[in-house]
A and B are shown apart, each in its own frame.
Chain A
Amino acid sequence: MSTLVPQPLGIPVPRPSLLAEPYWEGCRRHELLYQRCGACGHAGLRAFTVCGACLATEPVWERSGGRATLYSWTVVWRPPNPTFVVPYAPAVVRLHEGVWMISAVVGCEPEELRDGLALAVEFHPASDDVVLPYFSPTSS
């Protein structure tokens, strides 16, 4: 058995950038936020100031329902530094709102990972200040 679990406190944690601060504040409230262009609705791969689709400069933050499907994954057995507990499964998930994001899958065995797996967000602390969104399989 090697059930995938969230990482313990003590891993390297993100230093939030100015643009992404609302995202990290949302995580602390256990709310998953993403950014869309206020003019055309386009969503990028991270917080932005100029829309890559229509060049409008008024992005808005929206709250995701937290449901996603698994798009790609790996299972890491040799971590970049010894603070990470293996195995763990970094993943690209696609939110039902159409947004791709980097996260990690927890709450299942590595063998259960497959394309299109239905996932739901859950939040776990990474330090006193930082909360990370993870995704776990959901039956619905």
Chain B
Amino acid sequence: MTSHPFGAVALVGVHNTRQARRLPGHDSTSIALVGALGALADAGIAPGQVDGVVGPAAAEIALELGLGPCTRRPSALGIPALLDAAALITTGQCDVVLVAAGGAGIHTDASSTAPWTRPANELVVGYGLFTAAEFALMARRHMITYGTTPEQMAAVAATIRTNGHANPAAVYYDRGPFTVDDILASRMVADPFHLLDCATTSEGGCAMVLARADRAADTPAPLWILGGASDSFGPAYAVAPVWDFRPRPDDDPAGLVGARAARRAFAMAGLAPADVDVAELYDPFSFEIIRQLEAFGFCAPGEGGAFVEEGNIAQGGRLPVTTDGGTMSFSHPGINAQQLQRVVRAAEQLRRACPTNQVDGAEIALCSNGGAGALFCDVVLLGRERP
């Protein structure tokens, strides 16, 4: 018997569906189902053994796969969905839980940015705000305070897009490699973000399966949750994204959202940032990686720009980041699947199963979701050894 809060649950199956600019014939639920069946096959678990489903389409998937009666959690996204699924098992509510997500058939108006980038909240809609502008307002404060440069941000985008260039499963496979100059030469979207500093949009699904630890022995490659936590400062894209917004006078400001989550995750794992072999960070915009590296303790405040410029986040560097190409190059199918895909990639790394960009000997992976522009940030640490 283990005393670790997640010691009784294993991540036993993961799957990404094919990702593409368009997947004709699919909607978000149908592509999530493709992901679900893939993850179950990966785990070697029959659908009938699933007794819990987590994700926006949880009830639909329960119906489609004939799982009733079963537990359903329809609201959680990304890493929190993974942690909720794990908690359903550790608290004895379920034995095998499926987390599935997909995005398809949502972005159909080519004259506008994707619908999920432009929520019509009353204080922002009239000023033409959208996700790129919201994240730019956070990046600007970092530029003012620390002198962070567009070249440093472009170094992030060039690294991650080059990772996608090398990944046969990426939507933008074989489109590079990319240099800092390539990023800076792309057209400006929302200063300081050029087109290639920003996430792409695409379609696809993914899923994962968690199981009670005693059942994991029958699965080919179980992995373990070492720590996880989430931070929020309020609703995304509804109020001003203020770096120095500090509701608790003695705690971190909104610009460091995720710092508390990372501290809690590392404490739960008994690990430190130096123990992480690969960081599958959420990359909606290039600056966000610089911010997360500082917030999570991989470098000191203000040093993120130099850290990325020195090549530390590239393949072969001290901390390879977002090795599948992330939302910039691998895929960005909406509001949920691309967040879970950080976990799928971490699992592939820890299984040493990446066809390209494998980090040698990866034992510990950190994944993140969200970002300062959205006022939330989630962190999970995964490993090969049962905690």
Chain A interfacial positions (CB closer than 8 Å to B): 7, 11-17, 20, 45-46, 52, 71-82, 84, 88, 90-92, 100-104, 110, 115, 126, 130, 132
A81-B126 in contact given A72-B137, A74-B136, A102-B240 (Cβ < 8 Å): no
Of A75, A76, A77, A132, the residue contacting B126 (CB under 8 A) is: A132
* Alpha-carbon separation in the docked complex, A65 to B306 (Å): 42
Whether the Cβ atoms of B128 and A88 lie closer than 8 Å is yes
B189-197, B269-277, B308-316, B332-340: which one contacts chain A?
Answer: B189-197
Tell me, in angstroms, the Cα distance from A20 to B122 when the chains sit together: 9
A14-B122, A78-B189, A102-B239 known; A73 vs B137 contact (CB < 8 Å): yes
| Residue contact B123 to A80, C-beta cutoff 8 Å | no
Q: Are B187 and A13 in contact (CB under 8 A)?
A: no
Q: A45-B240, A52-B247 are known contacts. Are A14 and B123 too (CB-CB below 8 A)?
A: yes
B354 contacts chain A at the CB level, 8 A cutoff: no
Pair B126/A73 contact, Cβ less than 8 Å: no
Most chain-A Cβ atoms within 10 A of its Cβ — which of B112, B238, B242? B242
Pairwise interchain contact B137-A90, C-beta atoms closer than 8 A:
yes
22 pairs from A and B in contact (CB 8 Å cutoff): A45-B242, A46-B123, A46-B239, A52-B247, A71-B141, A71-B242, A72-B137, A73-B140, A74-B132, A74-B137, A74-B193, A75-B190, A77-B191, A78-B113, A80-B117, A81-B109, A81-B112, A81-B113, A100-B242, A102-B129, A130-B126, A132-B126
Determine whether the beta carbon of B128 is less than 8 Å from that of A77. no
Q: Are A84 and B188 in contact (CB under 8 A)?
A: no
B76 — which chain A residues lie within 8 A by C-beta? none
Q: How far is it, in angstroms, between the C-alpha of A14 and the C-alpha of B187 when the chains are bound?
A: 29
Contacts of B126 in A (CB 8 A): 7, 11-14, 126, 130, 132
Compute how far the CA of A130 lies from the CA of B126 in the bound complex, rounded to whole angstroms.
Answer: 9
Chain B residues, Cβ within 8 Å of A88: 127-128
Interface residues of B in 164-209 (CB under 8 A from A): 187-193, 195
Contacting A80 at CB < 8 Å: which of B128, B188, B241? Answer: B128
Q: Separation in Å of the A42 CB from the closest CB of chain B? A: 10
Cross-chain contact A74 with B144 (CB below 8 angstroms): no
Size range of the interface on B? 35 or more
**Cross-chain contact B129 with A90 (CB below 8 angstroms):** yes
A78 and B187 alpha carbons, distance in the complex (Å): 9
List residues of chain A with CB within 8 A of the CB of B112. 80-82
Query: Chain B residues with Cβ under 8 A from A7's Cβ?
Result: 126, 128
Kindly identify, within residues 92 to 118 of chain B, every residue whose CB is under 8 Å from any CB belonging to chain A: 109, 111-113, 117-118
CA distance A110 to B79 in the complex (A): 38
B243 at the interface (CB under 8 A from A): yes
**Given A17-B122, A84-B128, A132-B127: A72 and B234 within 8 A (CB)?**
no
- Whose C-beta in chain B lies nearest to the C-beta of A74? B136
Nearest chain B CB to A107 CB, angstrom units: 15
Does B238 contact A76, Cβ atoms closer than 8 Å? no
For A46, the chain B residues whose CB sits under 8 A away are 123, 238-239
Q: Which residue of A lies closest to B131 (CB)?
A: A80
The answer to whether B133 has its CB under 8 Å from any CB of chain A is yes
> What is the minimal beta-carbon distance from A16 to any residue of chain B, in angstroms?
6
Q: Is B353 an interface residue (CB 8 A)?
A: no
